[in-house]
Amino acid sequence: MKILLTSLTLLCAVNLFSQTDAQLKKDIASIENKVINWRHYFHENPELSNREYETAEKIAEHLKSLGLEVETGVAHTGVIGILRGKETGKVVALRADIDALPVTERNDLPFKSEVVTEFLGTETGVMHACGHDTHTAILMGVAEVLTKNKDLLNGTVKFIFQPAEEGPPPGEKGGAGLMITEGVLKNPDVDAIFGLHINSSTPIGTIRYKPGGTMAAVERFVITVKGKGTHGSAPWTGVDPILISAKIIDGLQTIISREAKLVEEPAVITVGKITAGTRFNIIPESSEMIGTVRTLDPDMREMVIRRMKEMVPAIAKAYGGNAEIVFQNNTAITFNDLELTAEMLPTLQNIAGTDNVELVKATTGGEDFSFFQEEVPGFYFFLGGMTPGNTTPYPHHTPDFMIDDDGMLLGVKSLSQLAIDYLNN
């Protein structure tokens, strides 16, 4: 009799799980059109870092409609929603970034961005050229799905909608670092955090991940070069800061090509902007360069920054001028906690299929999700957003960047199930 009762108990538990699982799947499937519509709205109405006012308002309105505890104005425009399950227990955070980029869109979409603004003194279009519109829409969908299935949650889910992932404007604070300073991981205290990034060159239906170091530490640097202005017809009467800038750019690349041990980890130095001069026949007095450093190893990061600080003034001096370099750290290394990644990998494999979950190498892209991972264990993975058969996907941060709407539902499934499985483990 005891054996029979035990068997019946297990059978009932399995049946209950199957029914619950079926309802969860139904709720996820039914949310797809909403997620797509939200994504189209955010894509058509993008806002730059620390200026995501309408975006935050729409997010907060949705979370409040679900009956969640909602906090707004975190790190300027961030939104937090808290969902408490049927039982007390662990706290898991799910994060989406919400800001757009100063990029003028070239795509021919019915929801194409026509927004124009001024960024650093230059008129520019504004575009979700990195997929943050999809991240926001996905997490809004997850919030609705988990609210409908909160009886499955033995613990609490904290939804974090983060502004300024691309970096706050010069002179301002923002992003994950400011959210942490303002207590986003407290009250209730977060035990683990999950996040995803959609990718334009990964086929829809595919998830990619890497344990440990996944994305690079990112530094922003500004180099100011001082020369001596003169007439362009008589360069020997001045000191040309444009020439010095060219020599500095060339010299910096030798740190990567000749000093960095690239067989261990990759590293990148890129000058993305150079400003100098006003007229074709005037050698200006100064120039400014702005760029980025990407590293995946702490020792290599220290070496690259040290050598840049040594090299920049030395090259300028060699050509009769002077220069200084100032660094600003944008992100740490995005480090997937080894134990958490191993624990949650079966969830992703069950959701997407084992053959569709791929182990990949690290990327030199950067993510300030890394700051959350410095505080609590975190797992960050990549979600396919490329239309099947597309052989020429455009990179992120470009005017032609494109994401297929059909890739988002897997994101909803993944984050929803990760939260459920983590809290119930």
Total domains in the chain come to 2
Same domain for 98 and 159? Answer: yes
Is there a cis peptide before residue 188, judged by omega within 30 degrees of 0?
Answer: yes
Collapse the DSSP code of 190 into the 3-class scheme (helix H, G, I; strand E, B; otherwise coil) and give the result: coil
Work out the average pLDDT over 23-49. Answer: 97
Of 367, 377, 388, which Cα lies nearest the Cα of 422? 377
Give residue 11's pLDDT: 42
Catalytic residues, which ones? 99, 165
Same domain for 223 and 204? Answer: no
pLDDT digits (tens, 9 = 90+) for 393-414: 999 999 999 999 999 999 999 9
Instruction: Tell me how far apart the alpha carbons of residues 216 and 266 are, in angstroms, rounded to a whole number.
Output: 9
Same domain for 327 and 188? Answer: no
Of 196, 149, 215, 159, which Cα lies nearest the Cα of 347? 196
pLDDT digits (tens, 9 = 90+) for 268-277: 999 999 999 9
Beta strands in 64-126 (DSSP E): 69-74, 78-84, 87-97, 116-119, 122-125
Same domain for 312 and 411? Answer: no
Q: Is 406 exposed, middle or buried (0-12, 13-18, 19+ CB in 10 A)?
A: middle
Give residue 2's pLDDT: 41
Q: Is-contact 92 192, C-beta < 8 A?
A: yes
Same domain for 42 and 143? Answer: yes
Q: Tell me the whole-structure pTM to 2 decimals.
A: 0.86
What secondary structure letter does DSSP report for 256? I
**Residue 325 belongs to some domain of the structure:** yes
Tokens 């892209």 belong to which residue? 365
Backbone angles phi, psi at 180, to 5 degrees: -65, -45
Give residue 329's pLDDT: 82
- Structural domain including 100 reads 32-210+360-424
Q: pLDDT band at residue 58, thresholds of 50, 70 and 90?
A: very high
Instruction: Tell me how far apart the alpha carbons of residues 69 and 82 are, in angstroms, rounded to a whole number.
Output: 5
Same domain for 162 and 43? Answer: yes
Same domain for 255 and 298? Answer: yes
Same domain for 202 and 222? Answer: no
CA atoms within 13 A on the CB side of 135: 29
| Ramachandran quadrant class, 131 (left: phi over 0; alpha: psi -120 to 50; beta: rest) | left
Beta strands in 187-256 (DSSP E): 192-203, 207-209, 212-226, 230-231
Work out the average pLDDT over 130-155. Answer: 97
CATH of the domain at 230: 3.30.70.360
Of 329, 294, 311, 113, which Cα lies nearest the Cα of 215? 294
Instruction: Tell me how far apart the alpha carbons of residues 222 and 243 are, in angstroms, rounded to a whole number.
Output: 17
Q: pLDDT band at residue 240, thresholds of 50, 70 and 90?
A: very high
Q: pLDDT band at residue 379, thresholds of 50, 70 and 90?
A: very high
Beta strands in 260-406 (DSSP E): 267-276, 282-283, 286-295, 322-331, 334-336, 357-359, 363-366, 378-386
**Residue 419 belongs to some domain of the structure:** yes
Tokens 């444009």 belong to which residue? 242
* Residue 278 CB neighbours (<10 A): 6
Q: Is-contact 126 117, C-beta < 8 A?
A: yes
Q: Is-contact 337 378, C-beta < 8 A?
A: yes
**Residue 96 belongs to some domain of the structure:** yes
